[in-house]
Amino acid sequence: MIGRSRRSFLWLGGAAAAGALIPAGCSDGMVPRGAGPGASTGDGPFALLRRRWRDVTAGSGFDPAAEPYRSRLAELGAVAAAYRDAMAPTGASLWPGLDFPSFTATPARLRTMARAYALPGTGLTGDAALAAAVAAGVDHYRRRVYAAGADPVGNWWDWRIGVPRRLLDAAVLIGPHLGEAPRGALLDAVDHFVPECVLDDYSGTSTGANRVDLCTVTLLRAVLGSDPRRAALAVSALSPVFPYVREGDGFYRDGSFVQHTSVPYQGGYGVVLLSGLATLFAVLRGSPWEVTDPDRRIVFDMVERSFAPVVHDGFCMDLAGGRGIGRRPYEDHRRGHAIAAAVLLLGESASAAERARWRAMVKGWALRDTGVPMLRAAERSDLGFHARLAGVLHDDGIPAAGEPDGHRLPAMSARAVHRRPGWCAGLSMASDRIGHYEHGNGENLRGWHTGAGMLHWWAEGHGDQYSDFFWATVDPYRLPGTTVSTLRLADGAGGEWGDTRPPARWVGGATDGVYAAVGQHLNGFGSTLEAFKSWFFLDDAVVCLGAGITAADGVRVETIVDNRRTGAPLTVGGAVDGDADGVTHGDAEGDADGAAHGDVYGAAQETGGGGAAWAHLEGHGGYVLVGGAPLHTLREERTGRVGRTGGDDDDGGADPVTRSYTTLWLDHGVDPVSAGYVYLLLPGADLAGTRARAADPGRVRVLANTARQQAVRVPSLGITAVNFWTAGAAGDLAASAPCAVLVRERGDGTATLTVADPRRDLDALTVTWDRPVAEVLRAPPLLTGAGTGARLVLAFGRLADQEGGSRTVTVRLGWRGVWPGARTAPRDRWTRAR
């Protein structure tokens, strides 16, 4: 969906004008009520669906006399009564101050009133006068705005999803109180604006989450009209949502979820899809229209493969939030809570084993979310979710699952998530498939550089780092981890809805599920900037390399080592200032008048005996700068305004907010040519640990940092990792074509070699490892040949079909025919695992 717009609207402009909404090949949508075989043949199943809809969507599973339900239900009743009493229908509004079309607020108020009528304990439960007010309001809005002859000017989503969903919901909840004539007129209006042919083709605005919403509207229309044919249509039209896709909107085999063609969106449209399907599965279970498509299995699989990886301690990472990241403070926690609610509801339709895992996972999220406690938030937003979550939290038989260690690299969405004990990191990139950023409806107008390698990270206790007005106050040209041209950009530069894809194809990397080598061939957004960026994800560090940084915009180019929303003390030392102990700068909050204070330190080059440059931010982590440009630091107070929400009740973000920031960056100068950098990010490291890492430059050895290869070796972990931007060699690894390779030598005499084709274009690849190897123990089908002996030579077939995914070969090290100094040809001997 493309969300709600605030453009001016005209309505009641005649049926002919409504043709703009009707797709090619559709009629005018005016299908006679009850038409078609089997229509209106009995109300028994629909009575079940009406009860289920009320229980699943309005709330159930709680004691209305117990707290907090008693208070919340009474509050709902009071709000509904106030809405009822304030109704003053005119030709231009239903409530004073909510002038038509009022696509969000007016239908939402009617639904709130209907829920107060349908739910127990509101003080208005079953109140005929309240139901009559809802019925009158629905019909008034239908006549003045949502009439079958209206001109649907503006955003299609309001006419096809937002308005009909709320109006039909309210009408279903009040049941027979909406008389036959008003009900028929509402059905006619829905048929006009949501003709059946919108479900004929899986394309355009009828894909992914939008398709689920359209099917939900169709089902509600069927329930209100007791129409079994339309109920069957609503269910059958879900089928295209389930299968994996290879392009465009939907789920990918690697766990990616994309909407708007080029935007990773688990935290927006993805959770709308997941919640919508969970609702439909629950409502339709046991009915004649139960969803039985065998591909629905994929939706259950995606809970742990797609959604769980982007949820950390109860919030959903902004790298999966699209244009909504700056909508409100703590929006990431709201997204995480919505995912948790959908997972618990979907669990009621899942297997017992899945339900047990998911409940443990959600329990862990809820217990760790201290920024916005999940149970308390559910009490205010969704009583059904609150009841399910309370049941999980109070059940001692359900363990609280911890954060899963390991690395997830959904290459098709140009994202990476790394978890190790005590910290987590998320990386967002842009590629020929994935846009730099998404904006639309006035939202996220300065998110230009979020795809330029933004590295989000959290140590323990940092759950609100990007939540508490971060997007309203951060310098948008200095997002952490990015390399950017400082060329000024217009708000909303580039195409809307994620149409900001660069040409670069080498974006992704290789992972063995624990460690990873990730890279991005970066084309700067709105500039001539080109760079090659790599991140090597380890146990306690992310090794960050940049090379080939070149631009010709006449402005400076910077790499942002970090930009933390904090004023905690910053200490810098080592080669940056010649002081091994470091120089500490106090709290930014204590600086007089909130002035910005910056410093520039000497070039951060590795030293022969004194170690590398370093910096430490108290309570956050450390940084070791091994090579590159001078280090700059800035401590400042930044003031901004909350971005617009896009809703009818949005106040425009009138109140300014101020937050403290500490920024560390490398200045590559004006129009750099082949500039580079090397630094280590140490999440959660203390001051002593940071100094120790800086004094031990051999712990991570940089083998190459050029526009041809970027490579590191970590002897303590047995890791050698190379991003081959072109064919060539680095260290003891060589590749015949661009690829990513991660080698991990284990203590048991075996090693794994993981390879990937981030460009997705290789028909063949040969990787050579200059180490003695006795035999291949396990290999993927794509391995077409292997030579062992003094060195290992692996030949892979068509990696282009693997969608950038990693493939791992396991080998046994050593060969009896090799002795010190011997040089022999490899043997063609390998064993495929059975």
Residue tagged active-site, from 140, 177, 260, 386: 260
- 260 a catalytic residue: yes
Residue 275 identity: S
Residue 509 identity: G
**Peptide bond between residue 101 and the one before it cis (omega within 30 degrees of 0):** yes
Residue 285 is classified by DSSP as: T
Residue given tokens 């609702």 in the structure block: 279
Report the distance separating Cα 741 and Cα 753, nearest Å: 7
Report the distance separating Cα 467 and Cα 453, nearest Å: 19
Residues 6+ apart with CB under 8 A from 822: 790
Measure CA 430 to chain center: 14
Report the distance separating Cα 521 and Cα 735, nearest Å: 18
70: three-class secondary structure by DSSP: helix
CA-wise closest residue to 428 among 415, 418, 441: 415
Q: In whole angstroms, how far apart are CA 594 and each of 212, 435, 591, 637?
A: 49, 36, 6, 6
CA-wise closest residue to 483 among 413, 541, 557: 557
Residues 6+ apart with CB under 8 A from 236: none
813: three-class secondary structure by DSSP: strand
15: three-class secondary structure by DSSP: helix
- E strand or H helix that includes residue 784: strand 783-787
Report the distance separating Cα 177 and Cα 224, nearest Å: 12
- E strand or H helix that includes residue 115: helix 105-118
DSSP result, 628-652: SSEEEEEEEEEEEEPPP--STT---
CA-wise closest residue to 141 among 179, 86, 92, 85: 92
8 Å CB contact between 723 and 709: yes
Residue given tokens 């009320």 in the structure block: 54
* Structure-block tokens of residue 274: 């997941």
Report the distance separating Cα 347 and Cα 324, nearest Å: 27
First to last CA, the chain: 46
In degrees and rounded to multiples of 5, residue 100 shows phi and psi of -60, 145
Question: 3-state DSSP helix/strand/coil percent for the chain, to nearest 5?
Answer: 30, 25, 40
Residue tagged active-site, from 269, 330, 437, 661: 269
Torsion, CA 606, CA 610, CA 614, CA 620, rounded to 10: 130
- 597 a catalytic residue: no
Q: Let me know how long the chain is.
A: 834
Residue tagged active-site, from 69, 177, 210, 620: 210
- 269 a catalytic residue: yes
Q: In whole angstroms, how far apart are CA 402 and each of 336, 409, 632?
A: 16, 20, 37
Residues 6+ apart with CB under 8 A from 617: 562, 564, 566, 568, 569, 570, 623, 662
Catalytic residues: 210, 260, 269
